[in-house]
Amino acid sequence: MVSFTGSSAVGREVMAAAGGTMKRILLECGGKSAGIFIDVEVTDDLLQRFLFDGCSLHAGQACILQSRLLLPERIHDEVVERLVELARNVTVGDPTDPEVQMGPLISGTQRDRVEAHVAAAQTDGAKLVVGGRRPAHLERGFYLEPTILTNVTPDARIAHEEVFGPVLAVLRYRTDNEAVAIANNSQYGLSGAVWGADVDRAVGVARRVRTGQIAVNGCTPGDAPFGGFKQSGLGREGGGLPGLHQYMEPKAIGIPA
């Protein structure tokens, strides 16, 4: 058996190579997860948490981040304005400094790639509302400011491609059905979140999003087996016995009485 964690592109290569000898595989690959606000009370704590979960955690270099934010029309402008202010106040710098909130990207090549994604998004019609630049006070290191893009359409490249950098794409929606359709309009299905004052409504939306795990009002699935759908991979790992079973194959023996 081969267990692989990495990009979807390399995961497909691993899968193809494993086919020659029919090795079993477990793939935990990329993501472009959606965070959906419905009838939630939008507090500063919630926005700070979402900015961290969707953008600044590991400088956006984590497959489980909710790098798409889906907002109802009625609160879109207010939430974006408040997120922009929070993003401007994120302290970027040396991650060994306890005052720093976001460190660098892994390499100059990756920073160039993220900047290319941001530039392409603007060419496609997205609006850069904050970030997208290298911090002026940091001459060394592969740093990029927390970046938020609005006017993102469901079919835009930035709404589909895994950037793996501190970039949050904001999309508008009008109904719960439309939110679910936008969330599912992705080649990935790894993680996600739904926030709402009506828990039953939020759970109803969460059930319809095709993803390996999803949190409702910040409550994660905990130690449940982890994995994704579609290009996010195959199989589940962790989570006690169900995760261990992925590494086992049953063998049946008939014994005469």
Rounded CA gap, 184 and 163, in Å?
18
The predicted pLDDT at position 191 comes to 96
Q: What residues have CB less than 8 Å from 42, skipping those under 6 apart?
A: 75, 78, 79, 82
pLDDT in tens, 215-242: 999 998 888 999 999 999 999 998 888 8
Is the separation of the CB atoms in 63 and 222 below 8 Å? Answer: no
* Residue ranges of the chain with per-residue pLDDT less than 70: none
Rounded CA gap, 106 and 90, in Å?
19
The predicted pLDDT at position 240 comes to 85
Rounded CA gap, 204 and 207, in Å?
5
Residue 212's identity, in one-letter code, is: G
Rounded CA gap, 193 and 35, in Å?
5
- Which residues are catalytically annotated? 28, 63
DSSP H or E stretch at residue 2 = strand 2-5
The predicted pLDDT at position 149 comes to 98
Q: Which residues of 28-44 are buried (b: 16+ CB within 10 A; e: fewer)?
A: bbbbbbbbbbbebebee
